[in-house]
Amino acid sequence: MLILGVYNNDDYGAKTNFFASKDISSNLDVPEGLIFSPDGTKMYVTDNTGDLIEEYTLSNPWQLSTATHAGSNLAVADAQTNQPEDLAFNADGTKMFLVDRTGDKILEYNLSTAYDVSTASYSGDSERFYVGSQANQARDVEFNLDGTRMFVVDGTGDDINEYKLSTGFDVSTAAFVDSFSVSS
């Protein structure tokens, strides 16, 4: 499995150039989600069948060719999910959110060291949120800057669902607001 990096040298997106790639097949079976730390020095990839979140360190921020396996990862317990799909972090990296595709849930984890997934601990079933009433096979999750809005991509319904969180970055306080169709 290769992760490809591209850059755009045209303001209007007319021309995109290949920049770099990184082979990560030795660490992952079926990579799904991909996210970077805000400073670009860490990269995280979810492994759908291996039930892992793999962490990579980039010696030069945002330069994929400098990525090396950090030696740390998170083995997601089958009791939490059999198919980790995507992940997101809160603003300071002390909370991580994982999409459970088969259970249609957003799982919450606490990190004792910011942006170090090996220090993550599951917050428990009371701190997860079921999105199955709106999404079938949830695929991706994203938050606004203060964590009071959460957006979940529906894997089969061709829509993006919006949720309001009464407490920022606490998914147990989420309530459905609206959905936006992207089917056309």
Q: What is the mean pLDDT of the chain?
A: 83
In angstroms, the CA 123 to CA 150 distance is 18
pLDDT at 34 over 70: yes
Average pLDDT over residues 104-125: 91
Segment 5-17, tens digit of pLDDT: 444 455 555 555 5
Range 79-105 average pLDDT: 86
pLDDT in tens, 120-164: 999 888 888 999 889 888 889 999 999 999 999 988 878 999 999
Backbone angles phi, psi at 56, to 5 degrees: -125, 150
Q: Taking residues 27-34, report their average pLDDT.
A: 69
Q: How many CB atoms lie within 10 A of CB 62?
A: 13
Q: Which two tokens stand for residue 156?
A: 């089969």
| pTM tops 0.75, yes or no | yes
